[in-house]
RNA sequence: GGCGAGUUGGCGGAGUGGUUACGCAGCGGAUUGCAAAUCCGUGUACAGGAGUUCGAUUCUCCUACUCGCCUCCA
């Protein structure tokens, strides 16, 4: 199957041709670890998780190398340490685990390699020294700066020119910079900040310091993926300056670097940028604790194409929940097929192979495969949905987070009570008690389903057990 | 100021140079004590203007508007 991917570098969809036949490699910029991942952080994770799944399917799991870094040295982390008084390593270790836990709940597979920046200081320094030696970087006042003018294609990825940007005047001017656009490869650290012996310039170390932000990705990609690799991904806010700088560094160091550049669009919340000042900022964990299953978050994310802004809305959350519940119901009792014993149907594969058209894939599942429960289950699992855990928790997931473990029992007893009242009513023709119970349940966020001989109560995500106290 | 993306029916959201997805909501019906859930059926659309074309929602240009990035932020 031909896979087509949109390459930011050429601004068009291209047929993906891996460097080495039958193998694929990709590098995705990971998080800076100082606090819980917000919902926006989840988007690239899920987008590239889908790409990873597609590539694994196409080339075999053993033939895909997926590197995603953790930035564990950064001024935001230092600031967090200073304000909390906690050791930096404690903060970064904790945040990394949070990140893995949260993304795991969204059904994201772990990359094959998850390097931490602090483990690659030596390669970064070597690269910086090499750049200085080749005349692309210079030392000044304890800093090492990259000489942007020395890379002729600077700005090509993001479609900017150095002169225009300087005219736009939104660049940090610092006395030690030869040119306002030059960016930091290395900067000095005071004693209270993390630091390492710096690059050697003119025979002696420039002094204790820490790397600038951009160099880590260039160094780690080179160490783990080599001179050239297939795909480099990240959010489109990274296109400039981060990725532009990565390219400049790597190219000037003589590396070929990435062939295909992929960028996901940003996430919004109810039509607006998610930001703390607007009060619409929340983390993945916030949502999970609020009773939104990870599957629902994943579904909503996959329902918008990755190159379009993704608007997280309450309505979408509800629709996703509803659709997933339908799928859960349809596939109840079925066992997923062994991955080796079923093949992905062409329409699904074609959708994903066309620049990751996940929305189309979901549409195919919902409109066509819903008539074939086994196929629905198998294909949904390929997309990372309908996992064992999610199916198991299908009826209780919302309850657990909302009201502790006892809620499902509570609903079971209420269902029995309602069923009893209904049997009486069928004989007496007086349905007032049944209607009263039903009304209370609906008001408390419970969906009431009565078939001819059965009563089922299903908690929705707005279920509020406290409203049912009077019925106990 | 620079760069980029986008504007599709009530809403979400694909896609295509000619036959107009899909989901949700709505409406009609089946079912139900009434509902819910489920099933069946059903309507409405391609921001505005100009151009290319036998023909454009789909290509080109212009205008308007929206959003994002350029600043720590995926």
In-domain check, residue A217: yes
Q: Is the CB of A307 under 7 A from strand B?
A: yes
Q: Are A285 and A102 a contacting pair, CB within 8 Å?
A: yes
Q: Both A154 and A237 in a single domain? A: yes
Number of compact structural domains in chain A? 3
In-domain check, residue A191: yes
Note the pLDDT of residue A112: 97
Closest nucleotide to A311 by C1' from CA: B12
Which is it for the CA torsion A266, A292, A385, A284, positive or negative?
positive
Q: Both A47 and A146 in a single domain? A: yes
Query: Residues of chain A with pLDDT > 70: what percent?
Result: 94
Angle at A191 (CA atoms; ends A188, A195), nearest 5 degrees: 50
In-domain check, residue A273: no
In-domain check, residue A271: no
Q: Domain end: A392, A411, A445, which one? A: A392
Residues 265-294 of A with CB under 7 A from strand B: 265-268, 271-275
Residues (pLDDT < 50) of chain A are 397-406
Q: Domain end: A245, A264, A283, which one? A: A264
pLDDT tens per residue across span A382-437: 999 999 888 877 655 433 333 333 456 777 788 888 888 888 888 888 888 888 88
Q: Both A242 and A303 in a single domain? A: no
Q: Both A438 and A378 in a single domain? A: no
Q: Both A33 and A58 in a single domain? A: yes
Q: List bases, strand B, within 7 Å of protein CB.
A: 1-6, 11-15, 21-24, 32-39, 67-74
Q: Both A364 and A464 in a single domain? A: no
Note the pLDDT of residue A396: 54
Range of the domain at A190: 4-264
Q: Domain end: A392, A419, A451, which one? A: A392
Note the pLDDT of residue A284: 92
The CATH number of whichever domain residue A357 belongs to comes to 1.20.120
Q: Give the other-Cβ count within 10 Å of A164's Cβ.
A: 10
pLDDT tens per residue across span A65-79: 999 999 999 988 999
Q: Are A387 and A297 a contacting pair, CB within 8 Å?
A: no
Joined together, the tokens standing for residue A278 give: 């607007």
- The H or E element that residue A421 is part of is helix A407-428
Q: Both A335 and A411 in a single domain? A: no
Q: Is the CB of A107 under 7 A from strand B?
A: no
Of the candidates A53, A80, A75, the one whose C-alpha atom is nearest the C-alpha of residue A64 is A53
Q: Is the CB of A415 under 7 A from strand B?
A: no
Kindly report whether the peptide bond that precedes residue A127 is cis, defined as omega within 30 degrees of 0: no
Q: Both A31 and A113 in a single domain? A: yes
Q: Both A173 and A71 in a single domain? A: yes
Task: Please indicate if the annotation marks A379 as binding a ligand.
Answer: no
Q: Are A36 and A284 a contacting pair, CB within 8 Å?
A: yes
pLDDT tens per residue across span A232-256: 999 888 988 899 999 999 999 999 9
As a whole number of angstroms, the distance between CA A268 and CA A40 comes to 8
Note the pLDDT of residue A175: 80
Note the pLDDT of residue A460: 67
Task: Please indicate if the annotation marks A217 as binding a ligand.
Answer: yes
Q: Both A78 and A217 in a single domain? A: yes
As a whole number of angstroms, the distance between CA A360 and CA A362 comes to 5
In-domain check, residue A225: yes
In-domain check, residue A434: yes
Residues 354-383 of A with CB under 7 A from strand B: 354, 357, 359-360, 363, 366-367, 370
Q: Both A102 and A150 in a single domain? A: yes
């Amino acid at each position: 199957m031909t896979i087509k991917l949109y390459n930011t570098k050429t601004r068009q969809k291209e047929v993906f041709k891996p460097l080495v036949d039958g193998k694929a490699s990709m590098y995705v910029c990971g998080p800076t670890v100082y606090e819980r991942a917000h919902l926006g952080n989840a988007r690239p994770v899920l987008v590239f998780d889908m790409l990873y799944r597609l590539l694994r399917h196409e080339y075999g799991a053993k033939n895909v190398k997926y590197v995603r870094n953790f930035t564990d040295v950064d001024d935001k982390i230092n600031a967090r340490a200073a304000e909390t008084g906690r050791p930096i390593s404690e903060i970064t270790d904790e945040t990394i685990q949070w990140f893995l836990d949260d993304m795991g709940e969204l059904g994201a597979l772990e990359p094959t390699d998850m390097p931490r920046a602090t483990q690659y200081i030596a390669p970064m320094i070597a690269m910086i020294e090499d750049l200085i030696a080749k005349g692309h970087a210079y030392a000044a006042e304890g800093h090492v700066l990259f000489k942007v003018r020395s890379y002729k294609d600077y700005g090509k990825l993001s479609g900017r020119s150095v002169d225009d940007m300087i005219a736009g005047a939104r660049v940090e001017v610092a006395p030690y910079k030869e040119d306002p656009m030059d960016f930091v490869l290395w900067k000095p650290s005071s004693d209270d900040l993390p630091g390492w012996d710096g690059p050697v310039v003119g025979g002696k170390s420039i002094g204790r310091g820490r790397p600038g932000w951009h160099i880590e990705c260039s160094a780690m990609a080179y160490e783990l993926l080599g001179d050239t690799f297939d795909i480099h991904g990240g959010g489109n806010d990274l296109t400039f300056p981060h990725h532009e700088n990565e390219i400049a560094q790597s190219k000037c160091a003589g590396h070929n670097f990435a062939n295909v550049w992929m960028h996901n669009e940003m996430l919004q919340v109810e039509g607006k940028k998610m930001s703390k000042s607007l009060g619409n900022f929340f983390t993945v964990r916030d949502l999970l604790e609020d009773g939104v299953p990870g599957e629902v978050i994943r579904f909503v994310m996959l329902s918008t194409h990755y190159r379009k802004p993704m608007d997280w809305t309450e309505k979408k959350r509800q629709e996703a929940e509803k659709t997933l519940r339908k799928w859960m119901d349809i596939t109840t009792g079925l066992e997923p097929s062994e991955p080796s014993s079923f093949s992905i149907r062409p329409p699904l594969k074609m959708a994903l192979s066309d620049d990751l058209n996940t929305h189309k894939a979901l549409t195919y599942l919902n409109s066509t495969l819903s008539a074939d429960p086994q196929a629905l289950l198998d294909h949904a699992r390929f997309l990372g949905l309908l996992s064992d855990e999610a199916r198991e928790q299908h009826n209780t997931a919302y309850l657990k987070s909302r009201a502790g473990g006892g809620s499902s029992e509570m609903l079971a007893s209420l269902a029995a009570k309602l069923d009893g009242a209904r049997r009486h009513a069928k004989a007496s023709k007086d349905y007032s008690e049944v209607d009263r119970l039903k009304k209370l349940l609906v008001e408390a966020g419970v969906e009431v389903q009565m078939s001819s001989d059965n009563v089922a109560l299903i908690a929705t995500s707005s279920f509020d057990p406290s409203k049912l106290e009077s019925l106990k």
